[in-house]
Structure 1
Amino acid sequence: MITGLHSIVYAQDAERARDFFRDVLGLPFVDAHDGWLIFAAPPTEIAVHPAEESGRHELYLMCDDVEATVAELTAKGVEFAAGIEDVGWGLLTRLRIPGGGELGLYQPRHASPLA
């Protein structure tokens, strides 16, 4: 039986990315060994979308109020790669993970099994 979900964010500078998840996003974590941090994630959902080619996967953070969350994270020094866009199923932006690329952030408008 499935008991959880382990997601991986690959980063060229894993230490800076871990610092971001720990210090800026404030996610709870454990040190698995020698500074190898594993973070607890908020409740999670998985969607399966049709695609021409299989193998591409995406990771998004969700929030209740994207404008307030962007303001809060901007005050903490977070950089955003895009403005907030209405994409129909939600309000979407992308934040930069120091040393680790970008991560989607959105306020969903779709039904959720978490509700």
Structure 2
Amino acid sequence: MFNASHVILYSADAEADRAFIRDVLQFAGVDAGGGWLIFKLPPSEIAVHPTDGPSKHEFYLMCDDIGKTMAQLTANGVTVSEPVNQRWGLLASVTLPSGADLPIYQPLHPTAFDLEG
């Protein structure tokens, strides 16, 4: 039924964050017209969590080795928070040029992104 997902990050400095995603995170992309870049993401998965507050959406980038990922990002001048050990994974965040945080984590749970079908 579906063949992909489309994630939107709203940014106070979209141009700088797009350049960061293209040049630092090295995601391939296309220009949808007028400089509106759309980037190819790694395989993804979706989870639905209960909440006592209002419904919301979050976006995380996953990695196999958060220490190695953080070292590579830091070597490229990226500000990365110290990882925190959560029950479900090792969590850190990258500071985008706009000042927004982009969470990254190394899952310690079974993943679904590589399932067939």
Measured against the shorter chain, the TM-score band is over 0.9
In the aligned structure 2, how far is the partner of 1:95 from the partner of 1:71? 12
Q: Percent identity?
A: 48
In the aligned structure 2, how far is the partner of 1:66 from the partner of 1:93? 8
| Pairing of 1:1-115 with structure 2 (within 5 A) | 1-80=1-80, 82-99=81-98, 101-115=100-114
Deviations 1:49-103 (A, max 9, x none): 00013421111000000000000000111112x3111102111101111115011
In the aligned structure 2, how far is the partner of 1:102 from the partner of 1:114? 23
Of 82-91 and 22-31, deviating more is 82-91
Considering only aligned residues, what root-mean-square deviation do their CA atoms show, in Å?
A: 1.1
- Structure number with greater CO (CA < 8 Å, separation at least 6) is 1
In the aligned structure 2, how far is the partner of 1:34 from the partner of 1:76? 28
In the aligned structure 2, how far is the partner of 1:53 from the partner of 1:86? 24
Opposite residue 67 of structure 1, the aligned amino acid is G
Whether the aligned pair in 2 keeps the contact of 1:17 and 1:100 (CA below 8 Å) is no
Structure 1, unaligned runs of 5 or more: none
Opposite residue 27 of structure 2, the aligned amino acid is L
Structure 2, unaligned runs of 5 or more: none
Opposite residue 109 of structure 2, the aligned amino acid is H
Give every structure 1 segment of 4 or more consecutive aligned residues whose post-TM-superposition deviation is greater than 4 Å. Answer: none
What is the total number of aligned residue pairs between the two structures? 114
TM-score (norm 2): 0.93
